Amino acid sequence: MIHFENVSHAFDDVVAVSEVTLTVAARQTVAVIGPSGCGKSTLLRMAAGLLMPDRGRVLINGIELRSDNVLEARQRIGYVIQSGGLFPHLSAHDNVTLAARYRGREGPWIASRVAELAALAQLPMALLDRYPRDLSGGQRQRVSLMRALMLDPDVLLLDEPLGALDPMVRHELQEELHELFARVGKSVLLVTHDMAEAAFFASHLVLMRQGRVVQQGDYAALARTPAAPFVSDFIGAQRALPVLG
């Protein structure tokens, strides 16, 4: 479980997140959406322990993230960023297994886990010998997902994980990730600016603006009973293809 309790964070005089309270239950997928600069990625970075809130608390499975326990807590957190964030000087296999090797896991355990995750991510084992530059965008995202899941974390955080992919690859990975979320049974917090993608992945959406939560609930609630004009405007701004007669 991930719980934000009245969290706020500012960069100098710019307030990025203001008094946000949000819970992601066990086995639940929640999508945070909103325009650029609304604070959604800052919120995710606080869940990953990369930023500490100026006020409020972030708890993972009931344990508050603090500066003195954050390194240990990160072992229970999987984090996937846009474009994968892979180390270019390491092979895909070494990227995936880096944390496990650092933690001193035995070779047979690592090999078994890699094979399991490759099957889960639908990535041929032979590709793991390649370096990130030799992989397609979709393959890099699969490797990044394997790396995030390597130590079987309690929660999974994804920051615009499909934003840099071409439409066909993005559609394919959306389908695969949707199935994967159901299979791994993690608390998943996903950040995106795409309403359709958010509604596809998550039953609970959180719409942010200027660091605050404007409305949260399922897509039907946001579309039918918007809490503010901004909600309707944001939904209406999602471009749809024209209907051809």
Rounded to 5°, angle at Cα 70 from 64 and 76: 85
* Sheet architecture: strand order including 204-209: 77-81, 155-159, 187-191, 29-33, 204-209, 212-217
Q: Is the pLDDT of residue 84 over 80?
A: no
Q: What is the mean pLDDT of residues 19-33?
A: 94
pLDDT digit string, tens, across residues 43-52: 999 999 999 9
Q: Does domain 2-236 have CATH number 3.40.50.300?
A: yes
Q: What is the mean pLDDT of the chain?
A: 90
Name the band, by pLDDT with cuts 50, 70 and 90, for residue 240.
low
Beta bridge partners of 143: none
| DSSP 3-state of 190 | strand
Please give the Cα distance from 149 to 151 (Å, whole number): 6
Q: Which position has the token pair 């995750």?
A: 117
Q: What is the DSSP string of 87-152?
A: -TTS-HHHHHHHHHHHTT--HHHHHHHHHHHHHHHT--GGGGGS-GGGS-HHHHHHHHHHHHHTT-
Q: What values do phi and psi take at 22, rounded to 5?
A: -160, 140
Please give the Cα distance from 209 to 216 (Å, whole number): 12
**pLDDT score for 241:** 47
**pLDDT score for 203:** 87
Name the band, by pLDDT with cuts 50, 70 and 90, for residue 195.
confident
**pLDDT score for 74:** 85
Q: What is the mean pLDDT of residues 193-210?
A: 91
- Which of 17-21, 33-37, 183-187 is predicted most confidently? 17-21
Q: Where are the domains of the chain?
A: 2-236
